[in-house]
Structure 1
Amino acid sequence: MSVWEKMTRKANIHQYLSEDVKFQKTLKARDLMALGIGAVIGTGIFILPGTVAATTSGPGIILSFLVAALVCATAAMCYAEFASSLPVAGSAYSYGNIVFGQFIGWVIGWALILEYMLAVAAVSVGFSAYFGAFLKGFGLHLPAAISGAFTPGQGTYVNLVAILVVWLITWMLSRGMKSSMRINDIMVVVKILIIVLFIIVGFFYVKPSNWSPFLPFGKIGIFNGAATVFFAYLGFDAVSSSAPEVKEPQKNLPIGIIGTLIIATILYMAVSVILTGMVPYTKLNVADPVSFALQLVHLNGVAGIISIGAMAGMFTMMVTMIYSSSRLVYAIGRDGLLPKFLGKINDKNHLPNHSLITVTIIISLMSGFFNISQLAELVNIGTLIAFSFVSIGILPLRKRKDISNDGFKVPLYPVLPVISLGLCLYLMTRLQVATWIASLIWFVIGVIIYMSYGIRHSNLQTSDK
């Protein structure tokens, strides 16, 4: 078989299904929405509605979130059809292997590794900062030496809290999905209750005059704002990583993916309505606009509770992303494109603990010792690459006679998948040049790994399609 034939051979769906059957099916639609909401609703809900309103959209930020949700919905529906048709581990990586071939699958997987791990590392650093601020409220202070990245000149050597919270989540996930989801569900409920608390309390301080002018930046402000807040919705795709552990996946996976997007949109828009009603949009360009609005009306106690909600939001986001990245690395190891021990499932609790621990070590090093704030935007490009392939992948998926789907199907086929692809490509053009250069370096490294290791060790069985 030539190199080109190896790169373009398509994975056999039956091989994946037979290997992933080792997972325990414990997740229901409710758990999937908790995973999705845990990933999507993070600290962004306490920041973006204010800062984007002040600089880009004005009170029209409400419509910006709606437009961004509609854009995400096109990709979400494509993910839902894939998840319903192919309930296998690995999410977009496995979908790419099956409909496009091994090399495209690897490119998608390599992009998702970048997205998931960088996202967790960045958020764990944010969690550490919030935790430090929370302790200060009680008169406690963490030593500077263990409060930041390795920067001896500034007196910081390791971000210990960031490392510890990552390992705490890993310990939780290693004990099984049933108990992990119980804790995650509780944290998600706490987070939503705190958001609802802000909406209810803030409602009594709304001044309708603050919504005028509604579109101070013009109609273009709605769309510019939508391009900015689009990234607030990222994370719903991680739900599809759980496919082998889901009961009735054809029914529950689409509910989890689309349900996540609907609930997130309602919460984002509600917070935007209250926030811009409480405070003139021109005053909201601050790091913590929700807390700022509450302090402005002398509700300092509620503002303190919001910080707890922010930490809960970051915690659940990390749960979802660590979980998803471990399943992704498991899937790539299962196929032999990475060392095979990563594709092993523990016989005791039926979990891929090798990949989970490996992922955690890498994330710990990034969050504990490196300043990764400048690399955070790479999360966006990794996501959009996966979105693009999943969107256009619906076309070859529908042509496969060996893949049945009695569940969700994208409406307006083939127009909607093409529209989704176009929207993803457009958003990619809005990313900074530095982001493209850094991502190019990442993908060059990925190609070198694939050509030197993956292509020679792949154990993918070839589909006859």
Structure 2
Amino acid sequence: MSASTVPASQAPAAEGPTLARSIGPFQLFAYTLGGMLGAGIYGLVGRAAGELGSAVWLGFLVAMVAALLTGLSYASLGSRYPHAGGAATIAQRAFARPLLTWVVGLAVMASGLSSVATQSRVVAENLLRLAGLEGVPTLVLALGFLLIICGIVLRGIQESMWVNILCTTVEAIGLVLVIIVGIPYWGSADLLETPGNEGIGLSFLMTGAILTFFAFIGFEDTINVAEEARDPRRTLPFGIIGAMLAATVLYIAVAITAVSVVPWQELSAAPGPLAEVMARAAPWLPGWFYVAITVFAVANTALLNYVTASRLVFGMARQGLLPKPLASVHAGRRTPHVATLALLPVLVALVLAGDISQLAAATVLLLLAVFTVVNVALLVLQRRPGERKGGFEVPWPVPAAGALVCAALLLNRLGTGDWRAPALAGALLAAILLGYAVLRPKVTEETLPAA
């Protein structure tokens, strides 16, 4: 029997210590929300206003519907197979093609690691701005930050969760404050005004969805910690869906506030759109306030991506796709300590490489391809006789529509005319394939705990 068809209840018992099931429903909710509420929303509102005018809020609403299709698929799959390894584990279970599993796993890992490295430098730059330190190399602070988050991830999943809750709370407070100070301005703008008064049609809505869809990326990280959640068949869907709905409410309210306080034409030209909103609606707020929030938001994104990458490495090693020692669990801390430490030199190398923003953009393309594969995987598993059901099931049109939406977004990104990100994505994919050809990993029976 292949690893892809072993029911979780029949999976062999893991030898040695296992990951601790200690994550509650609120922590899962905060984990998902924290993954989405990154610093990107602080700049995305301005870019979106330039394309959508005062109707920018509508773009977030349509994007939520598009993103929720894939979010529902992840919620269903997580309730079926609450195991570390995330998309890689699901791809192997659905298709039983080690090469595809390898590509999916390393694509997600590349996205996470490039994000951690990029955010480490951003944290360092903002800390220098906050402290007014001159002469301190950004690189030193970035590497120091990497060591701190590595230590948190090593310490335990509960420690990582509580740090995430703190950072997510600060991020949310920053957005809520924008809404509160801007509410008196509500009603002062035509919320359906578009550039050139082109009207709101299907093409307009698609443009808005494509632009703002990426504000919701981050929900996919949650499935990687499902094995450490209590009652994941119930709590994981709650965490993903609840967080996506909460993020949508925040995004729409922030968008309405932004165009109400600052005309959309000026908002789109502002280097810091929400900082401009606060400067007009709350001039009493010190200028460093949003710099500090940015530090929390970016640090949180880096932490969550480090957790995700470590669990992905752990899950792939357990399948036999990566060296077996990477599947070790610390007896005391119950964390994948070898996988966590193995990622550190890779991250240090990425930080030392300098500006890897193009690499981060390239991995977004690979992530859209992974979303497409995951949606198709759910379709396959739903139709497989004898395949276990989850605690949260969705009808087949949901993953079918999710796959189509993600494939359309991928094609749109490829057709933007900017060849750098697609070329780098192609090079990264070629490197992943070369790694498979050289290492020839063998998939073994998954030693996953029963759900």
TM-score (norm 2): 0.91
**Match in the other structure for 2:233:** 250
SS at match of 2:189: helix
Q: 1:312-366 deviations in whole A, cap 9, x for unaligned? A: 1112111211000000011112222222221111122111111111222212221
Is the 8 Å Cα contact of residues 189 and 259 (structure 2) preserved in structure 1? Answer: no
Q: Is the 8 A contact 1:210 1:280 kept in 2?
A: no
Is 433-442 or 67-76 further displaced after alignment? 433-442
1:10 to 4, 10, 21: 4
Q: Deviations over 1:76-132 (max 9, x none)?
A: 111111101111111110000111112221111121011111111122222222222
1:352 to 322, 336, 341: 336
Q: In the alignment, what sits opposite 2:95?
A: 100
- Cα separation, 2, equivalents of 1:298 and 1:335: 54
Partners of 2:347 and 2:7 in 1: how far apart? 31
- Alignment counterpart, residue 283 of structure 1, candidates 266, 272, 275: 266
Select 1:430's aligned residue among 412, 419, 422: 412
Could you say what secondary structure the match of 1:109 adopts? helix
Name the residue aligned to 2:289.
305
Equivalent residue letter for 2:234: K
Distance 1:212 1:387, change over 3 A: closer
**SS of equivalent to 1:18:** coil
Query: Which string of whole-angstrom CA distances, capped at 9 and with x for unpartnered residues, describes residues 422-451 of structure 1?
Result: 111111112243322212221222122222
Most deviating of 363-372 and 108-117: 363-372
Q: Which stretch of structure 1 is more off in the superposition, 39-48 or 209-218?
A: 209-218
Matched, 1:230 2:213: yes
Residue 17 and residue 258 in structure 1: after superposition, are their counterparts in 2 closer, same or farther (change >3 A)?
Answer: farther
Gap change, CA 1:367 and 1:420, over 3 Å in 2: same
How far apart are the structure 1 equivalents of 2:229 and 2:270?
Answer: 41
Residue 205 of structure 1: how far off its partner (Å): 4.1
What does residue 378 of structure 2 align with? 394
Among candidates 169, 172, 183, match of residue 203 of structure 1:
183
Cα shift at 1:214? 4.9
Check 1:207–1:400 CA distance in 2 against 1; reply closer, same or farther (3 A cut).
closer
CA deviation vs aligned residue, 1:35-88 (integer Å, no higher than 9, x gap) = 1111110111211112220x2101111000011111110001111111011111
Say whether 1:192 aligns with 2:172.
Answer: yes
Deviation at 1:384? 0.8
Q: Structure 1 stretch 73-82 or stretch 399-408: which is displaced more?
A: 399-408
Match of 1:19 among 14, 17, 35: 14
The equivalent position to 1:81 in structure 2, one of 58, 71, 76, is 76
1:459 aligns with 2:441: no
Counterpart AA for 2:199:
G
AA at the equivalent of 1:429: L
Per the alignment, residue 174 of structure 1 pairs with 154
Amino acid across the alignment from 1:82: L
Task: Give the secondary structure class of the aligned counterpart of 1:88.
Answer: coil
Query: Which ranges in structure 1 are unaligned for 5 or more consecutive residues?
Result: 1-5, 148-158
Q: Which moved more, 1:431-440 or 1:279-288?
A: 431-440
* Counterpart selection for 1:408 from 389, 392, 395: 392
Q: Deviations over 1:146-179 (max 9, x none)?
A: 22xxxxxxxxxxx222222222111112111122
Distance 2:106 2:199 in 1: 40
In the TM superposition, what is the alpha-carbon distance from 1:212 to its structure 2 partner? 6.5
Q: How far does residue 206 in structure 1 lie from its aligned partner after superposition?
A: 4.5
1:389 aligned partner, one-letter code: V
Distance 2:382 2:68 in 1: 19
| 8 Å contact kept, 2:12–2:446 | no
**For residues 374-393 of structure 1, what are the structure 2 equivalents within 5 Å?**
374-393=358-377
Counterpart of 2:162 in structure 1: which amino acid?
R
Q: Deviation string for 1:230-264 (max 9, x for gaps)?
A: 11111100000001101001001111111121111
Output the CA distance in 1 between the equivalents of 2:150 and 2:185.
41
Of 394, 397, 421, which aligns to 2:403?
Answer: 421
Query: Per the alignment, do residues 26 and 222 of structure 1 end up closer, same or farther by CA in structure 2, a change over 3 Å counting?
Result: same
Residue of structure 2 equivalent to 1:151: none
Superposed counterparts of 1:297-376, under 5 Å: 297=281, 299=283, 301-376=285-360
3-state SS of 1:209 partner: coil
Distance 1:63 1:282 in 2: 17
Residues 1:270 and 1:461: Cα distance change in structure 2 (over 3 Å): closer
Deviation at 1:187, TM superposition (A): 1.9
Distance 1:207 1:241, change over 3 A: same
Corresponding position: 1:64 with 2:59: yes
CA RMSD of aligned residues (A): 2.3
Cα distance change, pair 336–9 in 1 and its aligned pair in 2 (3 A): closer
Alpha carbons of structure 1 residues 130 and 56: separation in structure 2 relative to 1, 3 Å: same
What is the percentage of aligned positions where both structures have the same residue? 24
- Code of the aligned partner of 2:151: W
Letter in 1 for 2:425: S
Gaps of at least 5 residues in structure 2 are: none
CA contact (8 A) 1:114 1:378 kept: no
What is the deviation of 1:406? 4.5
CA distance in 2, matches of 1:329, 1:199: 40
Query: Paired residue for 2:243?
Result: 260
Q: Which segment is superposed worse, 446-455 or 43-52?
A: 446-455
The alignment's TM-score, normalised by the length of structure 1, stands at 0.88
CA distance in 2, matches of 1:108, 1:287: 36
